[in-house]
Structure 1
Amino acid sequence: MDNLAFETHEDAKQKVVSEGKVNTSRMEKTKQWSLMSIFLVCLLACTITTVIGVLIVSLVYVNNPQPHSEPGAQSLQTAIPMVPKAVDPKFQFLNHLSKSKVFEFPGGAIQWARYRNNANDYLSIEEEAFGSSLNSQRSQMSFGTLRIKSSGLRAPHWHFNANEHGYLVQGTAWVGVVDDGAVITTYNVTAGQVIFFPKNTVHWIKNVGSEDCFFLLFFSTHEELQTLDVDDVFFSTPEDIASRSLKPEGGINFIRTFHKQEEDQGVNLPPNLAELVVNANYSQSPDNFVWRYFYDLKGSKEHRFPGGIIQLAQYWKNRSELSHNEKIFSEFLNQHQKALTLSTLRIYNNGLRQPHFHFNANEMGYVISGCAKVGIINAQSFTEFNIHIGDVIFFPTGTQHYIKSTCDEDLLLILAFSTGDQLQTLDMDDYLQATADHILAQLFFKKQSEFKKIPQFKEDQAVNLP
């Protein structure tokens, strides 16, 4: 028998299930639409935010195309690289030393025109250009000025990688040198004289006058100068090692009484010096020791020209005209590798050190007085610039250059040349006179007879006057 009630219940159940499926399908579709709406709204918001951000950044960049470099802002610097400022080519040959950093010490000051391993140690791109030029040209030269106050002391020290040549512009100094045999040589120096310290030779300079000493120092290296002071060595040595080496009265307890000063003592001048030193002795060693390290440049032979004077502290192949003491210096200089030649060049007002070049040496100079126009002719270009007191100049080997005095007072230069041999130089008038007329005629498209107009002078015209 059929159960109608049961059939009715089953029909109702199927209807409910069917309606449930429809409702579930509708709910799933509604849920999917809601998620899609949220996604679209988020995407639209992100798009709008990005557009606004780009507009803001663009406006900021337009108003400030070179953003400030704040600490930690490396990503911005990387994204927008800075274009380095161009450097005037003259700074390959010129250093305005007066604008360089002054290293102050209790007893004086030092300034440098030299190459540095760390480019951040340069104060300017011009200074860096000069230092890089010295290094790339393998100049065998560095330069520094040393000012020592009255009673001040350039601490005993030595240089690992360079000979040192100095010229005293002003003052009176007492110098000491300790050579490899522990032989001490001491001597007195006055203005216009030259001092020489071979590489790895311990030496000191003491101002024994009432005015400042002012030295011009040349070093025979184009690398970073390496120097070590005696006090730095002492305080870096373990106490027991220092005690066993020196064997002082009181042993290690005596060593412990030494205390390193907070301020660098490179140029030393204690405030209580009168209490510390009661019997100073500034004696001079015998001449045969002194003249190895000392040369009286101002008292040496003057090579006179119509427009000026040159004096040289160098090795001479022909030493017949040298004094006994000058021969000692000349021979000792030539015994050392990478020694330098020093010279003074005085040019009268409107005088010209005519175009010339050196076969066997780079040249570096410092302006002591006067002013001038300098011209440099090398394989790539011609460069001309003015120089004044305190400027440093550099001429690579074989580079033709000239110097014309442009002030009312004499131009006075101290020059260093990167050779311990006799300096070899050729002037323009000499090599043109030595060239056959017909060769010059062919070269310059001028008649051979025209070159008879260039006179030959009996007197050397290396430094001439109109």
Structure 2
Amino acid sequence: MKFSSYETTIDKFKLHSKNQRGDQAGRMQSFAVCAYLRKTICACLLMVILTLSLGVAVVILTPKIRALKEEGSVERPVEISQNVSNDIQAKYKYLNNMQKSKKFVLQGGEVQWARYRADPKDYGSKEERAFGESIHSNGAHMTASTLLIKPNGCRVPHWHFNANEHGYLATGTAWIGILDAAPFSVTSYNVTAGQVIFLPRATLHWMKCVGPENCLFILFFTTSEELVTLDVDDVFYATPKDIAAQSLKPKGGIKFINSFKQPKENQAINLPPNLNQLVHKASYTQSCALKVSRYFYNMRASKQYKYPGGIIQWARYTKDQSKMSRNEKIFAKSLNEHMDTVTMATMRIFRRGMRQPHYHFNAHTMGYVLSGSGRVGVVEKKAVNFHIKKGDVFFFPRGTHHYIRNVGKQDLFMVIAFSTNDELQTLDMNIYFKSTADFILAQLFLKKQEEFRKIPSFKEDQDINLP
């Protein structure tokens, strides 16, 4: 019995031990499961935290990364009220695509501008603003415009407070009237395509298209501030009626003045639909040549300066007037006597021709492309290259090195204005290379002195040359 009890006790102990080991294993397994769950939860929380952190970082950094990538890009969108990018400024300091600018459409025609605006919101694009601010900051004293007048349309009598006006008639036939300063008299004359007009500051003048086709004027105004203009009808309607009646003293007095009704439409370029009922007789007189020559120049018929690669014609003042006609001398004197007038020219560059690199001592340059296409290079602090086509305006500040090359299949034809009423002073690249001592060039360019003898001298001027 004792032996049996002992065995029973042993068996119970073994069973108990086994149960304990089982419970311990179970507990260890439970602990392992809990540890695994804790690790999984922690890993999930860590992933959530990392994901949130990454998302925050992306939200914060993405605009900065994008800005860095886009910095200097010409095509990235920029608000007009903000500073335009350096690349945009580099090109559009010298170029204005005027045909893309805002078109002011009126009854009798339309106007487009390449100009400075004091309020940045008045610009139509960041490119227009870059050009406007360029001519303003350089003190260019020039603003460009196109004026299209329909047949029978009239740019009504007006004057400009702060600029002389110079124009080139590209198409059509126009009749122009000017009210001279005291002793007061009207000078009127007819202008056809290829001819030049000069309208002094504050001089009352008007233009009427008298031919069967549109008149297209390329205009240059001698200011790089905002142009200030006043039309006669605006003055009349702004004047108190009793003051107008007392001044004009018409038959019927103030009753006659009250009969004028101000139209809703802007009358700057006027073409009323009932014009035939209003006008019964029109006389487009031509004043005597001596009076007309003060304001008019037949550049189309002037001397052609021919070069291997093109032709230039001038409307300008020069000190040597020995070969000028009487009318040319009168016009040149008129330009020289007025302040802030411009020298004008037409330049035709033949196919593959180039107006070679040069600069002007005493004038800013502004031009309008009438036909063809070209490549322009400008060197100020750095080189900028761009293409020009019909309707584009270009600007080169005084002293800026530049060239124009014909890259099209037809002649490149331009009208150009230079901001001087004196003789234009220009220096071409081939002239200053040939004029500089070869030992100075050798020292400058690190080439042997005799190498510069390869640059030839020419009997004819190379202002516009060919390859």
TM-score bucket (shorter structure): 0.7 to 0.9
* 1:301 corresponds to which of 297, 303, 306: 303
Distance 1:418 1:211 in 2: 31
Give the 3-state SS of the residue equivalent to 1:195 in structure 2: strand
| Partner Cα separation in structure 1 for residue 315 and residue 376 of structure 2 | 24
1:400 is matched with 401
Distance 1:234 1:164 in 2: 23
- Whichever residue aligns with residue 97 of structure 1, its letter is M
Shift in Å at residue 442 of structure 1?
1.0
Match of 2:46 in 1: none
* Cα gap change, 1:356 to 1:65, in 2 (>3 Å): closer
Aligned partners of 2:343 and 2:230: how far apart in 1?
25
Corresponding residue of 1:369: 371
Q: CA shift at 1:316, angstroms?
A: 1.2
1:422 paired residue number: 423
**Which amino acid in the other structure matches residue 425 of structure 1?**
T
1:153 aligns with 2:154: yes
- Pick from 197, 215, 218: which aligns with 1:213? 215
Identity of aligned residues (%): 55
Which residue of 338, 341, 354 corresponds with 2:343?
A: 341
State how far apart, in whole Å, the 1-side matches of 2:82 and 2:394 are: 28
Classify the secondary structure of the residue corresponding to 1:292.
coil
| SS of aligned partner of 2:237 | helix
Q: Aligned partner of 1:360: which letter? A: N
C-alpha offsets along residues 34-57 of structure 1, whole Å, 9 cap, x if unaligned?
Answer: xxxxxxxxxxxxxxxxxxxxx9xx
Displacement, 1:84? 5.2
Residue 61 (structure 1) shift: 7.0
**In the TM superposition, what are the counterparts of 1:251-270 in structure 2 within 5 Å?**
251-270=253-272
Give CA-to-partner distance per residue, 1:100-157, whole Å, 9 cap, x none.
Answer: 0000100000000000111111011110000000000000100000000000000100
User: Are 2:226 and 1:224 aligned?
Assistant: yes
- Give the AA of the match of 1:342: M
Superposed, 1:112-191 pairs within 5 Å as 112-181=113-182, 182-191=184-193
Aligned residue pairs, count: 396
Tell me the residue number matched to 1:357: 359
Are 1:434 and 2:440 counterparts? Answer: no
SS of the residue corresponding to residue 339 of structure 1 reads coil
Deviation, 1:160, is 0.2
Question: Which residues of 2 match residues 60-75 of structure 1 at below 5 A?
Answer: none
SS of the aligned residue for 2:293 comes to helix
- Aligned twin of 2:26: none
Between the aligned partners of 1:61 and 1:108, the Cα distance in structure 2 is: 52
Name the CA shift for 1:59/1:237 in 2 (closer, same or farther; >3 Å): farther
Aligned residue for 1:454? 455
What is the aligned partner in structure 2 of residue 30 from structure 1?
A: none
- Whether the aligned pair in 1 keeps the contact of 2:84 and 2:130 (CA below 8 Å) is no
> What does residue 312 of structure 1 align with?
314
Residue among 267, 272, 275 paired with 2:274: 272
1:23 aligned residue: none
- Structure 1 segments (4+ residues) deviating >4 Å: 58-66, 82-85
Amino acid of the structure 2 residue aligned with 1:221: T
TM-score by length of 1: 0.83
Shift of 1:83: 7.2
- TM-score w.r.t. the length of structure 2 is 0.82
Q: CA deviation at 1:243?
A: 0.6
Asked if 1 retains the 8 angstrom alpha-carbon contact of 2:163 and 2:201, the reply is yes
Q: Distance in 1 between matches of 2:342 and 2:417?
A: 6
Say if 2:261 is the partner of 1:285. no
* Partners of 2:154 and 2:269 within 8 A in 1: yes
Q: Deviations 1:359-386 (Å, cap 9, x if unpaired)? A: 00000000000000000011x2100011
Cα distance between partner residues in 1 of 2:119 and 2:438: 53
Deviation of 1:85 after TM superposition, in Å, equals: 5.0
Letter in 2 for 1:110: V
- One-letter amino acid of the counterpart of residue 412, structure 1: F
Unaligned runs of 5+ in 1: 1-54, 67-81
TM-aligned CA deviation for residue 183 of structure 1: 1.3
